[in-house]
């Protein structure tokens, strides 16, 4: 029984941490993507004026 608990702790914990971090990073990546898209629109407006 202790071996099963040890295996779950050794494998399950890293999986849970990885999933948590991936979800957090995904939200930040989406925000950065939107910011880059908006920046590209602003830059293109400045290029049209010149």
Give me the tens of pLDDT residue by residue for the chain, a chain 50 residues long: 888 888 888 888 999 999 999 999 999 999 999 999 999 999 999 877 75
Q: What is the pLDDT of residue 48?
A: 75
Distance between CA atoms of residues 25 and 39, nearest Å: 21
The domains of the chain are located at 18-50
Q: What is the pLDDT of residue 2?
A: 85
pTM beyond 0.75? no
């Amino acid at each position: 029984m202790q071996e099963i608990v040890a295996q779950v702790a050794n494998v399950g914990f890293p999986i849970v941490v990885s999933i948590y971090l991936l979800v957090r990073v995904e939200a930040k990546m989406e925000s950065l993507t939107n910011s880059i898209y908006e920046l590209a629109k602003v830059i293109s407006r400045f290029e049209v004026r010149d």
